[in-house]
Amino acid sequence: MAPTALFDVDGTLLDTNYLHTLAWAEALAQYGHTPAMARIHASIGMGGDQLLDHVLSQDRDRAQDGDISSAQHALFARFWPRLRPFDGAADLLRAVAVRGWTVVLASSASGRDLEVMRRALDADDAVSAATSADDVEASKPAPDLVHAALDKAGARAGEAVFVGDTVWDVQSATAAGVPCIAVLSGGWSERDLRAAGAVEVHADPAALLASLADSALGQPPPSRRG
């Protein structure tokens, strides 16, 4: 069984977190909600259902939730032509694949958003499988997405590493028994990511690529270390 490297996409490989923040802010405003942008940004990485619980009152009228999420998807689609990968993101995936890892994109994006993001990333030659929102019932920080990504690869948690950019990524991976490498490119602080349980923190994909030999992705997978 090949070791498996699971990569979050939004904020980890593509510079999209602030675009999602803006789309959510505009969608929420359409329905009379004006939470602080910083609060919305701190919720990016969760699924839409949990994000709304995080930024709005728990006793709100939930009848609007589906419409707000639909509005967010439509508003985010405006940014598709502007999506760009972080420097070194595609090269990182290829370098990890060359080292013998099975590369899986562990995304909870909608199918259409994931398709657009994969085109922007332009690294499908290194990617063996990918997840989308259709593959999970509970979104991050629940571990369902990590389990789904492992299933796609036919892998065990003990032979996998997750790479993400938010505390929700770290919590999700940790709950699934998978160590998480974090990058700062999504806007979270090193302190918060380490407090959540990240085993490494790098500035961005290019920095992780530059130090790959010394990272968990440059070593034997966790269960094979003696």
| Rounded Cα–Cα distance for residues 132 and 24 (Å) | 19
Q: What is the pLDDT of residue 221?
A: 59
Statement: residue 133 has pLDDT above 90: no
pLDDT top residue among 140 and 77: 77
Q: Could you tell me if residue 16 is left (phi over 0), alpha (psi between -120 and 50 degrees) or otherwise beta?
A: alpha
Statement: residue 225 has pLDDT above 70: no
> How is the chain split into domains, by residue range?
4-16+84-224, 17-81
CB distance 205 to 48 below 8 Å: no
Q: What is the pLDDT of residue 222?
A: 55
The mean pLDDT value for 117-143 works out to 93
| Rounded Cα–Cα distance for residues 179 and 64 (Å) | 37
| Rounded Cα–Cα distance for residues 73 and 86 (Å) | 22
Q: What is the pLDDT of residue 226?
A: 47
Statement: residue 13 has pLDDT above 50: yes
Domains 4-16+84-224 and 17-81 share a fold: no
Statement: residue 66 has pLDDT above 70: yes
Q: What is the pLDDT of residue 119?
A: 97
The mean pLDDT value for 97-117 works out to 94
| Rounded Cα–Cα distance for residues 183 and 206 (Å) | 10
Q: What is the pLDDT of residue 224?
A: 53
Split at pLDDT 50, 70, 90, the class of 138 is: confident
Statement: residue 49 has pLDDT above 80: no
The mean pLDDT value for 6-30 works out to 98
| Rounded Cα–Cα distance for residues 70 and 87 (Å) | 31
Statement: residue 37 has pLDDT above 70: yes
Q: Does domain 17-81 have CATH number 1.10.10?
A: no
Architecture of domain 4-16+84-224: 3-Layer(aba) Sandwich (3.40)
Q: What is the pLDDT of residue 149?
A: 96
Q: In the chain, how long is the greatest CA-to-CA distance? A: 56
Statement: residue 223 has pLDDT above 80: no
Q: What is the pLDDT of residue 130?
A: 97
CB distance 14 to 86 below 8 Å: yes
pLDDT top residue among 10 and 62: 10
The mean pLDDT value for 35-55 works out to 92
Average pLDDT taken over every residue of the chain: 94
Strands (E), the chain: 4-7, 102-106, 129-131, 160-164, 180-183, 200-202
pTM of the model: 0.94
